[in-house]
Structure 1
Amino acid sequence: MVDAAAPGAGAVAAAAWTAITCTAAACTDRMLIYGERHLRSVLNEYRDHYNTHRPHQARGQRPPDHDEHVVMPIAGRIERHEIFGGVINEYRRAA
């Protein structure tokens, strides 16, 4: 039998599995999904959180969509924003 998998396919599969298990652990294990539309909504909200807010250790605690040229304010009040009905909290400087 010939393995027709492209080089690097194992790494892609591992990354996909990591994303799926992280999503499941972060939100879907703590909420009841009512159907495909609700699942898509939850996954889209988690994707936005993962890419724009959640810190990533390999990126120096910055999210993937972080713009290196934007200066983050360090003064001011911090506000908490609940996502997924409070399952996950995001913290940001008040405007």
Structure 2
Amino acid sequence: MVWSLLYALTRNTLGLMLLRVRGDTAKEVEFFVLRHQVAVLRRQVHRPTLEPTDRVILTALSRLLPRTRWNVFFVTPTTVLRSHRDLLARKWTYPRKTPGRPPARREIRELVLRLARENPTWGHRRIQGELIGLGYPVGVATVWRILHRAGVGPAPRRADTS
């Protein structure tokens, strides 16, 4: 609603400025200068970056020109339609959440590493059983993953005291 009102106001304002303020000779000279500047810029910049305000102004100006003169724009009608589709997609899509399970709490990670450090003969299954007994519901794979990421090897290799 706001965008359509802004668009209509911009289009009407530009129409009044361009058609009623200046004389024909001044308009023709300005058009010639602007066309030459656009030709120079097109040689230098292959793909200009447009802000939303630029898109609104160009769209409003396109409504003032007949369709046969739309070749003066470096923005094609498909570009305007694509930006409209992108706008709708941003409005109606939900924010993405990271897939998968949430990471284990820091308290649990520290407890797993402490149990592994203090009991070098315990494997990941034994540590998981002790955590369950202490009231921490943790899976075996979670304990193994915590140990693996911390660089703690399997129990028989940790227990080697020779």
TM-score (norm. length: structure 1): 0.25
TM-score (norm. length: structure 2): 0.17
Q: Which has the higher helix share?
A: 2
Q: Which has the higher strand share?
A: 1
